[in-house]
Each structure stands twice: as C-alpha cells, then as structure tokens.
Copies of this chain bind each other. A is one copy, B any other.
Amino acid sequence: MWLRTSCDLTFDITVPTPFILMLRPRSGAQQWIAHEEYSLSPSVPVFEFTDNYGNLCQRLVAPPGIFSIHTTADVITADNVDQAPGAPFVEIQNLPDTVLSYLLPSRYCESEKFSEMASLITLGQQLGYNQVSAIETWLRNTIRYEPGSSDIPISAVEVNSRQSGVCRDLSHLGIALCRSLSIPARLVVGYRYNLEPMDLHAWFEAYVAGRWYTFDATQSDLKGGYVAIGYGRDAADVAVYNQFGPPVYPMKQSVEVQLIEKEEI
C-alpha cells in the first residue's frame, strides 16, 4: 500500500540548542521511500551521519526563536506483515556478528531480570518465532495499552510493575523478554496506518530463522501499514529527536498517515 506520512515538530528555543534528529526513513526490506520532504525553518546548517544501527541522523543547532521541523514521505509498504509460525530459534553461535548486540541488556530493557518470567510465558512453545508470538500475546492480554499516557520512556521492569504503558513501553518489555531467552530483539520507531489515536508509533522486531520479524502488542492482530524510521536497542538509541542543554519541549507535534493512490509513473 502507498502511505503518505508526515511529522511536524515546533519548538520555542531560548538558547542555541544542539539537536540530533532521526526523522529520515531509509528504504529497506519492507518499505520504499519514493518521495520525501525534510525542511527546517529557519534553515540552518545540518550534518547527516549514519549511526551504529544504520539510522540516518541529522545534527544541527537550533537558533533562539520558533524552530520548526517538517517531514513528509510517500512510502510503499507491505500490505501484510510477514509471519512465520514455527520459524526456528537461531543458536547463538550461528547468529551474525552484527546481531549479537541485540542480545545484551540495554537502558530500558533489563533483560537479565526476566529469565524466569520469560520461561513461564513461553512454556511449551517451540523455540523461536512461537516463543516471541507467545510473548506478544501475553503482553496484549496482560499489559494495558494506554496511548498517550506518558512521554518519558520507562524500562521493562517499570512497565511490568505498572502493568500498563504506551507502545514504546510494551515494546521494551517484549524486547527484554525475548533477549532473556537469547532471542535478539530491537525497538523500531515509525508510523503505522490507522493507529488510534494517530501519533508516532513503536513496535519491536525479533530475530528468528535468519531474519527480523515484526511484532506489535498494541494491535489486536498484525496487519501491514508500518513505516520504520529508526532501529535500535531501545528508546535510548532511537529518539526522533535528542536535544542537549536546557530541556525544550515541542509546542506542537503533529503526525499524519494517509493512504494514497499512486499510479506507476
């Protein structure tokens, strides 16, 4: 399907403020960026680099005054999310080197604390995809999804104790549970068609049978319509914006995802 995504952020800046943005989606296995706009007002010098996770990041210093960021993209993305019940667990020794860091505990995914819990949740499941699926189902049934309930990322331990959270929080717990079973897992931040209420979204991916699969405990079933912006170990690595110095908050943040008709050119 063709989606038109947009994200607009507006800040009221008082002192020159360094930012690192992560708002330029890449074309990847499941999406093609056919059209993209990225504008800053006022226009300032920007340096782009690729981080350790392959994300395109933009560095800039926002000048005092109103500073706004406008991005939009037309993306072709899969109508359905690949699913693979029965896809096997990959033994640690057979994982690619580049995947190993997704086994480690990270800021918001204290995976070393979830071994026992993960074993219980996945009891009797075939190793691999089915374990992750059981984790996703457990999250969906157990942790109350409360979109918009918080701005600050909380860690898997806190999510488990609150028993509720935003999309990012549920993903953090899902990731921690996967890693505790030695299944590499990572956070994805992006857009999702028909999300209610519309906002930036977060979900997670797990590595089984030699590739990454999408999981999303906030949705009743796995449909397509995902557009990934960034990947990382958790929300510490994947922030749509990181800002340094005295904190500034967006005066306005608006996100839209529309289905569009696009003819082949």
Contact = CB atoms under 8 A, between A and B. Distances in A.
Interface residues of A, number: 56
Contacts of A49: 54, 97
Contact of A43 (B106, B107, B182, B264): B264
Interface stretch (A29-37, A138-146, A249-257): A29-37
A91 interface: yes
When all copies of this chain in the complex are counted, the total is 4
A41 B264 contact: yes
19 contacts: A26-B48, A32-B43, A33-B38, A35-B38, A35-B39, A41-B264, A43-B76, A43-B264, A50-B50, A50-B54, A51-B100, A51-B101, A52-B52, A70-B265, A92-B244, A104-B107, A106-B236, A107-B107, A107-B110
Interface of A: 18, 20, 26-29, 32-43, 45-52, 54, 56-61, 68, 70, 76, 91-93, 97, 100-101, 103-107, 110, 182, 236-237, 242, 244-245, 264-265
